[in-house]
Amino acid sequence: MSAVRGFSELVLIVQDVPKAAAFYRDAVGLTPEREPDEDWAWFLLSDDPVQRLALARGPLLFEEQAPRSPAFGAVHYALRVERGDLAAALERLRAHGVEILGPTHFEWMRAESHYFYDPDGNLGEFWTPDA
């Protein structure tokens, strides 16, 4: 069995941290862990285990040693949304003018996914397990 026991954090490089933070707070509905500043914003996704999404202006630690530039392209990530909360989550995106792509059903995962882009071109996903 793997020594890895879960996901701790994902850091997205963005052009404008306050603008991106407002998107993730208002349109996606994430809970800020603290007030964002010009360089960083942190959102708590889960507290057991602790999982976070962070937004950073960059650069990241050890970026100068990266085999590829952090500007190589958009990131894709999926956020789990329970079936009973999905309609409200999608309506929140729509209310903020966010285009929703899908749904797409994945039989192999027994799940449905709805996709959207953030202001920096990162592809977000609301992933919902089948009932």
CATH number, residue 32 = 3.10.180.10
Burial class (CB in 10 A: 0-12, 13-18, 19+), 65: exposed
What percent of the chain is modeled with pLDDT above 90? 72
Owning domain of residue 21: 9-58+75-129
Instruction: Assess if residue 66 is contained within a domain.
Output: no
At residue 65, does pLDDT exceed 60?
Answer: yes
Q: Is residue 65 part of a domain?
A: no
What is the maximum span of the chain, computed from C-alpha positions, in angstroms? 45
Residue 33 lies in a domain: yes
Whether residue 100 lies inside any domain: the answer is: yes
Whether residue 4 is contained in a domain is answered as no
What is the model's pTM? 0.89
pLDDT tens digits for range 91-116: 999 999 999 999 999 999 999 999 99
Average pLDDT in the 21-32 region?
A: 98
pLDDT band at 5 (very low <50, low <70, confident <90, very high): confident
Between CA 3 and CA 124 the distance in angstroms is 27
**CB-CB neighbours of 104 under 10 Å:** 11
* Number of other residues whose CB lies within 10 A of the CB of residue 90: 19
Residue 88 lies in a domain: yes
